[in-house]
A and B are shown apart, each in its own frame.
Chain A
Amino acid sequence: MLRKFIKNRFNQWLKRRMPATKVITLNSGNTFIFPSKSGLHFLISCALLFLLGTNYQNNLILFLVFFLCSFMITCLLLSYQNLAGLTLNAVTPDAQFAARDSLFKLRLTEGKVCAQDVSFSFQHPSSALQTVIEKDSVALYGFSKQRGYYNPGRVTVRSTFPFGLFNVWTHLDFGFNALLYPHPFENKFQVESASNNAQENSHYQSIVGVDQFSTLKTYQPGESLKSVAWKQLAQGRGWYSKQFEQSAGGDVLLDINSLTHLPLETRLSFLCYQIIELQKTHQRYALKLNSEPTKVGSGITHNQQCLSALALFALPISKVQEPKTQKYENQDTGKAQ
């Protein structure tokens, strides 16, 4: 109870003291140094030795005690020096599906000395995956089942270098916000053809069953040999591949309201799966979440747009907006006035 209270107060204090930023250089203002558990053991043995030395009136034991104490102070400075000047640069995380481990990356720039034996983790670890530390970057993993913007919380940087007597640590807020798409559920949900739904959008419609040739593109190694324009090749005009407007299926409209008997999250997951599948088969599709459907389209950008729309659909405002961007915009308007 008390512990929780203290923890809360501490976190609030941290928020005030170290607000979220993308780039952080570690210095005396944002790191904490406390004796580690082994440091406390060390101090206890020092006290024991002091008693021993005093009671036996043995100067050499006393010198040993003084030396160990002095050594502790040197360790304090060395352990701080190890982390001081280390610059951490947060990389904007990529979008990920919910209930999968999302990757958060930090770039490291060393200060005067090479930081040794540093461990990175989230303050509240959520993923089972271990942090991967490379020479100049760190990959942390977070895990959440909630779609929308996901903030994995503060990153704990910790080191007990060089002798393990002191624990240098800090909880840094990089304002990480990874967009989590809904978790895709595999389903046999019958996709509706856009034509069935709305006849007036006939210009999106195409003939079902016949692949329509549209253009020729320069052949890229790795493309299917079936798509090679053999005729053009035979004519000696070089390698081309035939591009077909349509694969089987035709334009698809994905409507959130078509499965009203299921809960919203399940429906979103279904749609998410459909979008992935459609993307795989290069089909054109439109997404209808509100009254107006999106444009029919295909391709990565369209895919991402649709998935983001799914991710943020019907979420409270605070979750939809990236707190970080909000803050910067405020600053800008402040400056403009």
Chain B
Amino acid sequence: MKEFLNRFNLTLIIVCYSAIVLALYEQLHIYVVLFGVLCACWRGAHFFGWIALMPRFLLSAVAIATSALTVGLLYQQGVFNIMLHLIFLGFSLKFLELRSTRDVYFFVNTGFILIALFFIFNTSIVATLVASFLLLLLFAILLSLHAQRLVKNAYLTLLFKSCLLSLPLAIVLFVVMPRLPSLWKMPIQKQATTGLSDTVSPGEIAKLSRSSALAFRATFSDVIAPESERYWRAMTLDNFDGRTWSQSTSLKQEESMAKRGGGRQFYQTKNAEQPKSEYELIIEPHYNYWLPVLDYALTPTGLVSLSDYSLRSDKPVIARQAITVAQTSAVKTQPLTANQIRQFTQLPERKSALGNDRTDAWIAENLSNGLSKESILAQLLNGFSESFRYTLEPPRLGEKQIDDFLFNSQAGFCVHFASSYLYVARRLGFPARMVTGYLGGEWQASEGFFTIRQYDAHAWVEIWRENRWQRVDPTAYVAPERVESGLQAALTDGNEFLADEYFSLQKWQSVELINLLRGRLAQMDYLWARYVVNFDNQSQVKLMQRWLSKIPWLKLAYAVMLVMAIIFAALLLIIFKPWQVNKITIEDKIYLQLQGHFNKQGMKREAGQSVSEYCLLLSKTFLLSDSLCQSFALKYNAIKYQTRQTKGQRKKQIKQLIFISKQLTKR
């Protein structure tokens, strides 16, 4: 085994290390990333001969210090994060002290584990491509240790060949290997939730509007919900403290009880109507419990519904998750209890610091003018459509938010409109609540699914009239385009859309090519998520049954073994190419002819006998001329092994060999 590394090895190792640091950048603490960059710099400087490798004792000291620091820094972020960081530290330290090939094996194996951890966080197709590239780099390092003499082309060919040849068997294994259930509970990473949170104050949704990150995708099995019905409900908020809308304690209690399997789940059995249609959701991880659904969703297995028609998962969505939801058009309702009415008309105290006096005065004035409660609400909506402006960058509101918005700024986005409408409705005595979720989505025509991104986040109002919850979307009155064709259309100033994401492909929707590219990418990613990332036991069994039903006599186990055997045989064929017969050189041909001649006369060449030995035996057995036999062996060896012979010399020698052979076989 080689005990030192050459420059090519080192170059590859440094590149690979830097690439892995870059790939894991988002998951690592900033200090740890800095440490990684420092390691790469040190190694790079060493590569150019500017500094020596770190001495042993210093390295040990650094190892202890950094691990202690990491544990201290990440103490609160849970076991998983500490594990990830410690593995990464080990990887970096090994990288710093790399000297011999043994270290390189350790480095590469740790690299594999880091790639796996990378997959825990990222499962999109782009992430997979990145990981494949990293894997290829790691393999390249291994190969570079052993293929010193290979030229660049042969090196690359071998690398890609071995990877490509491994793919078919890997795919078969992936498809047929049964998936085991989790063997034990693993710590999960504690991560800040993304997307909607369970409180809403003006500003939060505006923040989301600046993100083009994917929230989820939806595929409808038959009937596609019309535009005006694509309100994806995530949760309802029924408590208002003058600034922020949040969930009341009773709602929270209900949710926690429902998650434990008890609690009040709305209707379920009460409704005898057949489900209207089904749709499949593939939800990006948001580290929260809510699942966006259209009105009204029947509870899928393994999930729970709440009385506000929203759907919850019993554990946070930490990885891409696929669920199928059945939809129904109507639900039976029960009249609200007194408690509920109190909760749904709750407002901060009048005349308090956060009280909205002007709004209250405006309501009182209208009431005294003899207007009905209904018409006051209608007037408010009219006002929205007449003089209000929809913008993602509204002026800052004062302490009395509703007053300030309704009578001063008159510019804002969904939360502002929903919030003030709710305030007025509750003041008038209507039970009402705020619903947050997503609105609309982008239709991917080629694949037939919707992509719903964070900027589709929306807030609207539900108001209790005629013994049921009715949806009112105040935003629709100020910016109907927002409902019909998405956020970008609703904004008059194009710069507001995704103001912070300069590099986002969404921002450049007008460029045809980029649009096409974006569509392709989204489509591939969707297929990837649907068929690969969420390929579970169920779909496995389904797939197998479908295939096997075509060949009824084949048992499952046999089929699996057969496919594997076929692939293995193909691998053997491709690698060894048995159809390529070794080209026999002229001298070998003559030698074989000679052997054949004497074979007929009863002398076989033993295995492993050299030419000279054979010729010696020949002369002994058949009493041939000793010198002739010897000269045959000499000529043969000369042709075969002599270095630096010109073509002319070779030709001459072959002629001589033929002559000798003829002399020998003359008898």
Q: Which of A80-115 contact B (CB under 8 A)?
A: 81, 84-85, 89-90, 107, 109, 111-112
**B544 touches A (CB below 8 Å):** no
Q: Is the CB of B577 within 8 A of A112?
A: yes
**B128 touches A (CB below 8 Å):** yes
Q: Which of B107-126 contact A (CB under 8 A)?
A: 109, 112-113, 115-117, 119-120, 123
Q: Is the CB of A70 within 8 A of B169?
A: yes
Q: Is the CB of A116 within 8 A of B568?
A: no
Q: Is the CB of A67 within 8 A of B170?
A: yes
Q: Which of B426-464 contact A (CB under 8 A)?
A: none
Knowing A66-B173, A74-B162, A117-B146, the reply to whether A52 touches B105 (Cβ < 8 A) is: no
Q: Is the CB of A61 within 8 A of B180?
A: no
**A196 touches B (CB below 8 Å):** no
Contact code string B168-197 (vs A, CB < 8 Å = 1, else 0): 111001100101111111100000000000
Return chain B residues, CB-CB under 8 Å to A305. Answer: none
Q: How many residues of A contact B (CB 8 A)?
A: 60
**A315 touches B (CB below 8 Å):** no
Knowing A45-B113, A49-B112, A58-B319, the reply to whether A67 touches B167 (Cβ < 8 A) is: yes
Query: Once the chains are docked, how many angstroms separate the CA of A73 from the CA of B169?
Result: 9
Query: Once the chains are docked, how many angstroms separate the CA of A210 from the CA of B16?
Result: 81
- Tell me which of A140-148, A158-166, A288-296 binds B: A158-166
Q: Is the CB of B146 within 8 A of A70?
A: no
Return chain B residues, CB-CB under 8 Å to A85. Answer: 582
Partner of B603, one of A24, A60, A335: A335
Return chain B residues, CB-CB under 8 Å to A37. Answer: 105
Query: Once the chains are docked, how many angstroms separate the CA of A64 from the CA of B607?
Result: 46
Q: Which of B556-590 contact A (CB under 8 A)?
A: 568, 571-572, 575-577, 580, 582
Return chain B residues, CB-CB under 8 Å to A74. Answer: 162, 165-166, 571, 575
Query: Once the chains are docked, how many angstroms separate the CA of A165 from the CA of B142?
Result: 9
Query: Once the chains are docked, how many angstroms separate the CA of A56 from the CA of B187?
Result: 9
**B533 touches A (CB below 8 Å):** yes
Query: Once the chains are docked, how many angstroms separate the CA of A68 from the CA of B116?
Result: 12
Partner of A71, one of B1, B166, B183: B166
**A55 touches B (CB below 8 Å):** yes
Task: Write the chain A residue with the least CB distance to B583.
Answer: A112
Partner of B532, one of A60, A67, A164, A332: A60
Q: Is the CB of B186 within 8 A of A163?
A: no
Q: Tell me, rounded to whole Å, the shortest Cβ–Cβ distance linking A110 to chain B.
A: 10
Partner of B146, one of A59, A163, A335: A163
Q: Is the CB of B147 within 8 A of A71?
A: no
Task: Write the chain B residue with the least CB distance to A109.
Answer: B640
Partner of A66, one of B112, B177, B603, B613: B177
Query: Once the chains are docked, how many angstroms separate the CA of A71 from the CA of B143?
Result: 13
Query: Once the chains are docked, how many angstroms separate the CA of A77 from the CA of B567?
Result: 13
Return chain B residues, CB-CB under 8 Å to A314. Answer: none
Q: Is the CB of B113 within 8 A of A48?
A: yes
Contact code string A37-73 (vs B, CB < 8 Å = 1, else 0): 1100110110011011111111111111011111101
Q: Tell me, rounded to whole Å, the shortest Cβ–Cβ distance linking A166 to chain B.
A: 11
Return chain B residues, CB-CB under 8 Å to A45. Answer: 109, 112-113
Q: Tell me, rounded to whole Å, the shortest Cβ–Cβ distance linking B86 to chain A.
A: 14
Query: Once the chains are docked, how many angstroms separate the CA of A42 from the CA of B111?
Result: 11
Return chain A residues, CB-CB under 8 Å to B582. Answer: 85, 111-112
Knowing A107-B641, A162-B158, the reply to whether A63 touches B170 (Cβ < 8 A) is: yes
Q: Tell me, rounded to whole Å, the shortest Cβ–Cβ distance linking A54 to chain B.
A: 5
Q: Is the CB of A77 within 8 A of B608?
A: no
Q: Tell me, rounded to whole Å, the shortest Cβ–Cβ distance linking A28 to chain B.
A: 11
**B372 touches A (CB below 8 Å):** no
Knowing A49-B113, A70-B173, the reply to whether A164 touches B145 (Cβ < 8 A) is: yes
Q: Is the CB of A77 within 8 A of B641?
A: no
**A215 touches B (CB below 8 Å):** no
Q: Tell me, rounded to whole Å, the shortest Cβ–Cβ distance linking A56 to chain B.
A: 6
**B149 touches A (CB below 8 Å):** yes
Knowing A58-B119, A66-B177, A70-B170, the reply to whether A161 touches B608 (Cβ < 8 A) is: no
Task: Write the chain A residue with the least CB distance to B175.
Answer: A66
Interface of A is mostly: helix
Partner of B580, one of A38, A70, A112, A335: A112
Query: Once the chains are docked, how many angstroms separate the CA of A336 from the CA of B145?
Result: 55
Query: Once the chains are docked, how many angstroms separate the CA of A162 from the CA of B533?
Result: 32
Contact code string B85-119 (vs A, CB < 8 Å = 1, else 0): 00000000000000001100110010011011101
**A22 touches B (CB below 8 Å):** yes
Q: Tell me, rounded to whole Å, the shortest Cβ–Cβ distance linking B423 to chain A.
A: 45
Q: Which of B529-571 contact A (CB under 8 A)?
A: 532-536, 568, 571
**B606 touches A (CB below 8 Å):** yes
Partner of B571, one of A59, A63, A73, A331: A73
Q: Is the CB of A160 within 8 A of B609?
A: no
Q: Tell me, rounded to whole Å, the shortest Cβ–Cβ distance linking B133 to chain A.
A: 13
**B621 touches A (CB below 8 Å):** yes
Q: Which of B135-170 contact A (CB under 8 A)?
A: 135, 139, 142-143, 145-150, 158, 162-163, 165-170
**A78 touches B (CB below 8 Å):** yes
Q: Which of B602-631 contact A (CB under 8 A)?
A: 603, 606-610, 613, 617, 620-621
Return chain B residues, CB-CB under 8 Å to A157. Answer: none
Q: Tell me, rounded to whole Å, the shortest Cβ–Cβ distance linking B208 to chain A.
A: 27
Knowing A111-B582, A161-B146, A163-B146, the reply to whether A60 touches B128 (Cβ < 8 A) is: yes
Q: Tell me, rounded to whole Å, the shortest Cβ–Cβ distance linking A332 to chain B.
A: 7
Partner of B116, one of A64, A84, A332, A335: A64
Q: Is the CB of A164 within 8 A of B146?
A: yes
Contact code string B347-370 (vs A, CB < 8 Å = 1, else 0): 000000000000000000000000
Task: Write the chain B residue with the least CB distance to A111.
Answer: B582
Query: Once the chains are docked, how many angstroms separate the CA of A77 from the CA of B146?
Result: 16
Q: Is the CB of A61 within 8 A of B119?
A: yes
Return chain A residues, CB-CB under 8 Å to B173. Answer: 66, 69-70
**A232 touches B (CB below 8 Å):** no
**A223 touches B (CB below 8 Å):** no
**A23 touches B (CB below 8 Å):** yes
Q: Tell me, rounded to whole Å, the shortest Cβ–Cβ distance linking B456 to chain A.
A: 27
Q: Tell me, rounded to whole Å, the shortest Cβ–Cβ distance linking A91 to chain B.
A: 9
Q: Is the CB of A60 within 8 A of B533?
A: yes
Task: Write the chain A residue with the least CB distance to B318.
Answer: A56
Q: Tell me, rounded to whole Å, the shortest Cβ–Cβ distance linking B54 to chain A.
A: 24
Partner of B184, one of A21, A55, A71, A90: A55
**A213 touches B (CB below 8 Å):** no
Return chain A residues, CB-CB under 8 Å to B184. Answer: 55
Query: Once the chains are docked, how many angstroms separate the CA of A161 from the CA of B177?
Result: 30
Task: Write the chain B residue with the least CB distance to A72.
Answer: B166
Query: Once the chains are docked, how many angstroms separate the CA of A332 from the CA of B571?
Result: 45
Return chain B residues, CB-CB under 8 Å to A163. Answer: 139, 142-143, 146, 162
Q: Tell me, rounded to whole Å, the shortest Cβ–Cβ distance linking A121 to chain B.
A: 12
**A200 touches B (CB below 8 Å):** no
Query: Once the chains are docked, how many angstroms separate the CA of A335 from the CA of B622?
Result: 12
Partner of B186, one of A56, A67, A77, A335: A56
Q: Tell me, rounded to whole Å, the shortest Cβ–Cβ distance linking A275 to chain B.
A: 29
Return chain A residues, CB-CB under 8 Å to B535. Answer: 59
Q: Interface on A for B, CB 8 Å cutoff?
A: 21-24, 37-38, 41-42, 44-45, 48-49, 51-64, 66-71, 73-75, 77-78, 81, 84-85, 89-90, 107, 109, 111-112, 116-117, 136, 160-165, 328, 331-332, 335-336
Between A and B, 9 residue pairs with Cβ closer than 8 Å are A23-B609, A51-B183, A54-B182, A57-B536, A59-B123, A68-B112, A116-B147, A332-B620, A335-B621
- Given A52-B116, A54-B182, A116-B149, 11 more A-B residue pairs with CB atoms under 8 Å apart are A21-B608, A23-B609, A56-B186, A61-B120, A64-B115, A66-B169, A81-B576, A107-B641, A162-B158, A332-B617, A335-B621
9 residue pairs, one from A and one from B, having the closest CB atoms: A21-B608, A66-B173, A70-B169, A67-B170, A70-B170, A38-B105, A70-B166, A60-B119, A71-B166
